[in-house]
Amino acid sequence: MNYDCIIVGGGPAGMAAAIYLRRGSKKVLLIERGLFGGQMLNTTEIENYPGYKSIMGGDLALSMSEQVEALETEVEYSEVVSVDLSGEEKIITTTNNEHRAKYVIFALGANPSKLNIQNEKEFSGRGVSYCATCDGAFYKDKTVAVVGGGNTALLDATYLSNIAKKVYIIHRRNEFRATDILVKRAKAISNIELLTPRCIQEINGDNKLREITLDNGSKIEVDGLFIAVGVRPNTELLKDKVELDEKGFVVVNNHKETNIENVYAIGDCTNTNLRQVITACSDGAIAAESILAR
């Protein structure tokens, strides 16, 4: 079936794009392989999305999806198995159908890299977090640890030092991958303590995280553990189709255009500096308005 635009991915970026395009009277197909919401569904509370003092991630996802449905957006729940972006008419093939459109927007998302240690999954959302700017406010005057040695980890620790009473940075090497200025800044902050070279072997608690065990056998009492060891974009589908950077994120310009004409990418799968619900929605609006202006 032919559409004006096909959106692949039903997270906040994809839903925002659908809302803007439908309000612009475009015929849109939104393809989602699971549930609407993306990473929002893994977030207990969101306190930094304007308009809500606090809202559960699942509730915000439901509210957005209801708005998408109210605009009579066509939706297909299936997996995209291949894409052909070479012609003027783009072809998106799912497990159920083959669709064609002049424009395609990829909102494929990304997943935080895991430590893959005992109890990590069990305590996710109950002390274990992968986003300091999302969840840091819950740890005011508490003790937290940040795992990682790159820029994100050091920035997270610096950010958390203004909220928590104590911040540990745990890194498996003595040297950091982060830029020198970030390392020097973190070392100069009185309530940050570096634990290197150390790895986390185990995390424990009751109804929420209470303690982490390091590879030297020492135990540290913490209220929160922020894992900042990288993010993996879900861009396998686009390999050799559009330009990706060295980490696999889609390279886009200010209009969210890829290097292929009429093909856009938005949200966490792109080479963006901030991966939040609000920036994902912004990306969706920018891409949609770019299409509507043509």
Q: Which of 135, 223, 268, 283 is catalytic?
A: 135
Q: What is the DSSP string of the chain?
A: -EEEEEEE--SHHHHHHHHHHHHTT--EEEEESS-TTGGGGG-SEE-SSTT-SSEEHHHHHHHHHHHHHHTT-EEEES-EEEEE-SSSSEEEEESS-EEEEEEEEE---EEEPP---BTTTTTBTTTEES-HHHHGGGGTTSEEEEE-SSHHHHHHHHHHHTTSSEEEEE-SSSS-SS-HHHHHHHHT-TTEEEETT--EEEEEESSSEEEEEETTS-EEE-SEEEE-S-EEE--GGGTTTS-B-TTSPBP--TT-B-SSTTEEE-GGGBS-S---HHHHHHHHHHHHHHHHT-
**Is 269 designated active site?**
no
Active site residue 206: no
Contacts for 141 with CB less than 8 Å, ≥ 6 apart: 163, 164, 165
Residue with tokens 């040695």: 149
* Active-site residue (options: 131, 156, 223, 269): 131
- Whether 135 sits among the annotated catalytic residues: the reply is yes
Q: What token pair was written down for 173?
A: 């090497």
Q: Give the active site residue among 4, 59, 84, 134.
A: 134
Active-site residue set = 131, 134-135
